[in-house]
Chain A
Amino acid sequence: MKILVPIKRVVDPNIRVRVKSDQTGVETANLKMAINPFCEIAVEEAVRLQEAGKAKEVVLVTIGGSQCQDVLRTGMAMGADRAILIETDAALQPLGIAKLLKAVIEKEAPNLVITGKQAIDDDNNQTSQMLAALLGWPQGTFASKLELNGDHAVVTREIDGGLETLKLRLPAVISTDLRLNEPRYVKLPNIMKAKKKPLDVIKPETLGVDFAPRLKSLKVEEPAKRKAGIKVANVAELVAKLKNEAKVI
């Protein structure tokens, strides 16, 4: 059993981000970056499956500039065996990413792909679904529990109404929700060991995929500041305001 885990490098979740002055995006220069928390959960799950003897190899993939090697090293320090960086400084969007991942997956032929359900920077929540569709594989998104039994996976999913359990034929794509596991702390000796684990760098051009962006972002703005509240005199006034001003009833 080989598990492939695509991960993303994002701004550290503890850092407050600011909109660039020209409103083209978010300021990321000199900001502390980290592995996307949902991706970290995906790595943890893959490593646990390996430790439980359910998987033989855990391979990480990321796409981006050479600085993305950091998160691959972090993932290998958590326990992944090797990593692949698809190196590019080009702008990336979920569909392009899914296509690039598909190309790598066809080469690597994993039995299972575990992704984070979304990245905390753009919050798209699209890549894993697109990837499953492109591969024609079953998908189990927002997993809060994952079990592997021979040629299939049993996935408990968090949905609006509660929990849904799916049985998926492998190979499949799973995306992780917050409650799937609690990622481990990286051990210091493993940080040293991760330096020596293989990290292949490939150029996206060699994958023969059109990953050019299809969407254009027009403007990025700060959310509107919350205004001070007011006191209403009675229920009638409240209902009137909800009806006429807030237009929610």
Chain B
Amino acid sequence: MTELIKRRDIDFLLYEFLNVEQLLAHPRYADHDRKVFDAIIDTAVKIAEEKFQTCAKDLDNNEPSFDGQKVTLIPQVKEALRAFAEAGFPAATYANEQDGLQLPWTVFQAAMAYFHAANISLSAYPLLTGAAANLLNAHGSVEQKALYLPHMLSGRFFGTMCLSETQAGSSLSDIRTRAEPTDQGYYLIKGTKMWISGGEHDLAENIIHMVLAKIPGGPPGVKGISLFIVPKIHVQPDGSLGERNDVALAGLNHKMGYRGTVNTVMSFGEKDNCKGYLIGEPHKGLECMFHMMNEARIGIGMGATTIGYAGYLYSLDYARQRPQGRHPLNKNPQSPQVPIIEHADIRRLLLTQKSYVEGALALQLYCAMLVDEQKISADTNRKQVLALLLDILTPIAKSWPSEFCLEANKLAMQILGGYGYTREYPLERLYRDNRLNPIHEGTHGIHGIDLLGRKVRMAGGKAFTTLLDHIRETIREASGNRTLQAYAGQLSNTLQEVEKTTAVLIACENLNLSLANSTIYLDMLGHVVIAWTWLRQAIVVAANAGNATGDDKDFYQGKLAACRYFFHYELPKTHGMMQLLQSLDDTCLNITSSQL
């Protein structure tokens, strides 16, 4: 059986690349050790392979249905999610006092990688519930946490995030959902929310919606948005369920991929009796939300990465087994055909995928490690550096895999040819699933604007310079190594261009023009960051590969080859992008609607 994610790669990234064991020195993680981490990932692999992967095709073929009363999914979904919850994954990163295990987020992300790779439309349920629970844990009152959190962490309740509305997706300042205060302590919520994943189903006893709404009289725009807990069914102090809240399913959306994740239009307060409970202060809802955004977005990037990764390994296995054609030098039609992996162009397709998905996975786990370090660091300066790095890397960690690991899925399908295009093979499903990732959780374009419009300029450009400093440190390290010094030089030259390009864009006083090509800037800086993660991996390989034999030797050599590929084939592309960016090209800005 093909692995979903190469375990040797996960081990390499956790223990060699990131040295996740350094976290064990902190009292929060003192009860853990590598064996515990390994055993937890073993459990994840098992449940992912036996419960998530086995129903992926079935779930894709049988999307959730609504009979006017309730939403129904195939029974394997409930069973798989029960196994996930019973094993203790939802609470794993929480504190011991909350019945958690204080597991580092990095290790949790590595475990989640397997669930995503096995069946993303199923793993989306715990992902959403986790995001809602984290929000509650960070900003909810003691009473609110006591009422909902234990049930969300045990798998008894699921959660959703209700941000978008039909008329307000990327532009949250235009939401219309209202929250009228009452003298009973709760608010009356009224409005319709769009694209709500997990909005209605029979998988859990209750659904806890996290809803953005405006309290009348508040400031206009995003500064007037508040955050509310809106349970589907009211919860009594003893944890039992009370009356149904005025929350109704208005309809299902029928998607291209992620078909097992029921996606809904939700109607709140049709009977003017939808009770919502304010989280945090009035009008500060979006701030609460964004506080959790880095982790949520890295989670999306991880999903995109792993779908790409699963496709890569599937196509690799296929290429090793599928005989087709002969080498160009062999003119004998009677000679046996060679497996297609013997053809250089197939190896190019594989190496491109490898450089994308393994590069992205390294970035995801690196970002997760920054989150962990940030949590435990006592040094305020270091904390600030970590925060800046995370702020600037998050749009890249979300968007780069969404774009390029989707591209990897395209290449994987290419390797299977016509078979890859049929529903008999999993690649077209992986491709359809992954196509969502550049769209949700902030579109690709929005993240381009976020990166160039906010992150690069924030704190007087400090996040940007912090990132460059970290890349330069890697360049210095690599310069001392004979095989790597050429890459170090190449990345150093690229970095100079990046600085120049960024300076030109920031100096441009016309913000419309400055941001006109921000998506290209996002792709460009993403490529530079991935080149950086490859150089960092290569440094680790150079240090550790010395006595490796057999499969392990191949593993390390493969890493070096992928690094080489990225520097030879991919990084040079950034120069074209930067030339365009520096020219402040206004073609897209100035073409009019009628000309298009």
Contact = CB atoms under 8 A, between A and B. Distances in A.
B550 A74 contact: no
A192 B43 contact: no
A73 B47 CA distance: 19
Contact of A73 (B1, B39, B40, B83): B39
Contacts of B550: 27, 29-30
Contacts of B89: 188
A234 interface: no
Contacts of A191: 36, 39-40, 43
Contacts of B348: none
B148 to A, nearest CB: 21
Interface string B535-561: 000000000000001111000000000
Interface string A23-35: 0000101111010
Contact of B39 (A14, A29, A77): A77
Interface in A3-56: 14, 27, 29-32, 34
Contacts of A241: none
A192 B551 CA distance: 31
A189 interface: yes
A142 B33 CA distance: 37
A101 B222 CA distance: 70
A133 to B, nearest CB: 35
Nearest to A20: B550
B7 A32 contact: yes
A40 to B, nearest CB: 11
Interface residues on chain B, size class: 20 to 34
A149 to B, nearest CB: 31
A186 B40 CA distance: 8
A61 B289 CA distance: 51
A31 B36 CA distance: 18
Contacts of B1: 14
27 contacts: A14-B1, A14-B3, A27-B550, A29-B552, A30-B552, A32-B7, A34-B42, A70-B38, A73-B35, A73-B39, A74-B42, A77-B39, A185-B43, A185-B47, A185-B86, A185-B87, A186-B43, A188-B40, A188-B43, A188-B88, A188-B103, A191-B36, A191-B43, A192-B31, A192-B101, A195-B31, A195-B36
Contacts of A32: 7
B46 interface: yes
A188 B107 CA distance: 13
A31 B555 CA distance: 13
B101 A188 contact: yes
B87 A192 contact: no
A185 B43 CA distance: 7
A187 interface: yes
A73 B32 CA distance: 14
A189 B101 contact: yes
Nearest to A186: B43
Interface of B: 1, 3, 7, 31-33, 35-36, 38-40, 42-43, 46-47, 83, 86-89, 92, 101, 103, 549-552
Contacts of B38: 70
Nearest to B84: A185
Chain A CB within 10 A, most for which of B43, B83, B101: B43
Contacts of B32: 192
B101 A185 contact: no
Contacts of B7: 32
B88 A187 contact: yes
Contacts of B39: 70, 73-74, 77, 186, 191
Interface in A103-147: none
A22 to B, nearest CB: 13
Interface string A68-106: 001001100100000000000000000000000000000
Interface in A179-203: 185-189, 191-192, 195
Interface residues of A, number: 19
A199 to B, nearest CB: 12
Given A188-B89, A192-B32, A192-B36, 17 more contacts: A14-B3, A27-B550, A32-B7, A34-B42, A70-B38, A70-B39, A73-B39, A74-B39, A74-B42, A185-B46, A185-B83, A185-B86, A186-B42, A187-B86, A191-B39, A191-B43, A195-B36
A11 to B, nearest CB: 12
A192 B47 CA distance: 18
Contacts of A34: 42
Contacts of A187: 43, 86-88
A30 B88 contact: no
B214 to A, nearest CB: 40
Nearest to B336: A228
Determine which residue in B38, B40, B88 has the highest number of CB atoms from chain A within 10 A of its CB, and name it: B88
Contacts of A189: 88, 101
Contacts of A31: 551
Which of A187, A188, A195 has its CB near the most chain B CB atoms (within 10 A)?
A188
Contacts of B86: 185, 187
Interface in A152-184: none
Contacts of A188: 40, 43, 87-89, 92, 101, 103
A191 B1 CA distance: 26
A191 B86 CA distance: 13
A31 B7 CA distance: 10
Contacts of B549: 29
A33 to B, nearest CB: 11
A121 B435 CA distance: 42
Q: Which of B33, B87, B552 has the most CB of A within 10 A?
A: B87
Contacts of A186: 39, 42-43, 87
A78 B552 CA distance: 31
A161 to B, nearest CB: 32
A74 B43 CA distance: 10
Contacts of A185: 43, 46-47, 83, 86-87
A35 to B, nearest CB: 10
B106 to A, nearest CB: 16
Contacts of A30: 550-552
A29 to B, nearest CB: 7
Of A31, A32, A189, A191, which is in contact with the most chain B CB atoms at under 10 Å from its CB?
A191
Nearest to A194: B39
A77 B39 CA distance: 9
B84 to A, nearest CB: 9
Nearest to B548: A30
A34 B86 CA distance: 22
A167 B7 CA distance: 45
Contacts of B83: 185
Nearest to B86: A187
A185 B84 CA distance: 9
B553 to A, nearest CB: 10
Nearest to A34: B42
B316 to A, nearest CB: 14
